[in-house]
Amino acid sequence: MPIQALLAGWAPAALMAGRLLVAVALAALFTLTTTVTAVLEGFQRLLRPFGRWVDADRVGLLVAITLRCIPLVAEIVTEVLEARRARGTQGSLLALAVPVVVRSLYAADAIGEALVARGLDD
Partner 1 sequence: MSTIVFDGVSHSFGDRRVLRDLSLTLTERRIGIVGANGSGKSTLVRLINGLVTPDAGTVTVDGLLVAKNAREVRRRVGFIFTNPDNQIVMPTVEEDVAFSLRKRGLSAAEIAGRTREALDRFGLSAHAAHPAHRLSGGQKQLLALAAVLVGEPRVVVADEPTTLLDARNSRRIADLFRAMTQQVIVVTHQLDLLEDFDRVICIEDGAIVADGAPAVAIDAYRALLA
Residues that bind partner 1 (CB under 8 A): 29-30, 32-34, 36-37, 64-65, 67-68, 71-72, 75, 107, 110-111, 113-122
C-alpha closest to that of 114 among 68, 81, 83: 68
How many other β-carbons are positioned within 10 Å of the β-carbon of residue 65?
Answer: 14
CA dist 93 → 14, 44, 56, 104 (Å): 9, 39, 38, 16
Q: What's the min distance (Å) between Cβ of 17 and partner 1?
A: 22
Q: What's the min distance (Å) between Cβ of 61 and partner 1?
A: 8
Beta carbon nearer to partner 1, 3 or 117: 117
Q: What's the min distance (Å) between Cβ of 76 and partner 1?
A: 10
Q: What's the min distance (Å) between Cβ of 113 and partner 1?
A: 6
Q: Please give the angle made by the CA atoms of 75, 118 and 22, to the nearest 5 degrees.
A: 15
Beta carbon nearer to partner 1, 29 or 59: 29
